[in-house]
Amino acid sequence: MQTFKLNNGVEIPVLGFGVFQIPQNQTKKAVLDALTAGYRHIDTAQSYMNEAEVGEALSATEVPREDIFLTTKIWLSNYGYKATTKSVEASLAKLQTEYLDLVLLHQPYSDVFGSFKALADLQKSGKIRAIGVSNFNSERLADVVAFQEAKVQVNQIEINPFHQREEDLANAKSRGNVLLEAWAPFAEGKNGIFTNEVLTKIGDKYGKSAAQVILRWNFERGIVSLAKSVKPERMAQNIDIFDFALTDEDKAQIATLETNDSQFFDHNTPESVDMFVNFLKERDV
């Protein structure tokens, strides 16, 4: 698996296997299948409620821990310096590991600065190799970069052909070369993305699927993609993107798919804040 280098020198695999929305009783097998397929980057979160099952897979696999890049994310109920520190210890226990390769603040609300300082101190202690944020727009990313001593290594945001985030990419590069990770690179199948005429026509030239074209497109932009599947054959297909390259014409065609809109919801509205407040009331993480 090829890697990108983060701004602190840590190597991160360019493709990750995400476990969002995979049921607990399927997570262990899915992670083991992903590792067998060749994935070496596993992305989970406290709010996914399956860290323990990911940990079971990591304990069962023959792949050495040092060959696996493991990410989790801090949920809002664990924001604040002390709560974040305590929650990382809980995640380490669930994941059955002594260190985490990357820990992100999952949402851009509440005590972001206190939580980020906790991650920075845990990074200094060696329990976390890289730190970052998730779902932060350009302004919020600039704020953290400007007013925190520790570097931000990663911002994980929605990126797909319908929401391409070119301005966010340029901003991240300008803020100390923060690397972007794409969640929902396939837009969870919305708008017929897997049969999209532009993407399938490009794929046909190379004997590749629309999904592979999307993953290659992100790779060539310097973006890590996090894809999810519980089907081993699809897992193997999703990492088979290193034997072709997109032309400038291909990329220009993909650019025409831009809608400049989230396929899910805009994190940067008062209504989104209200939604997450309700999430906190509904779930105990």
CA separation for the pair 30, 53 (Å, rounded):
10
Do residues 215 and 238 touch, judged by C-beta distance below 8 A? Answer: yes
CA separation for the pair 201, 179 (Å, rounded):
29
Name every residue whose Cβ is closer than 8 Å to that of residue 32 and which is 6 or more positions away in sequence.
57, 60, 61
Beta strand 3-5 with 69-74: parallel, antiparallel or unpaired?
Answer: unpaired
Instruction: Please indicate whether residue 99 is annotated as part of the active site.
Output: no
Q: Side chain identity at 75, as an amino acid letter?
A: W
Q: Other CB atoms closer than 10 Å to residue 22's CB: what's the count? A: 22
Structure letter (DSSP) for residue 49: T
C-alpha 226: how far from its chain's center? 5
Query: Which segments of 27-115 are extended strands (E)?
Result: 41-43, 69-74, 100-105
- Which of the following is catalytic: 39, 48, 79, 81? 48
Core vs surface per residue 65-80: b (16+ CB within 10 A) or e: eeebbbbbbbbbbbbb
Pair of tokens at residue 166: 């070119």
CA separation for the pair 268, 275 (Å, rounded):
12
Q: Other CB atoms closer than 10 Å to residue 93's CB: what's the count? A: 12
Q: Side chain identity at 11, as an amino acid letter?
A: E
What does the DSSP assignment read for 25-46?
Answer: HHHHHHHHHHHHHT--EEE--G
Cite the active site residues: 48
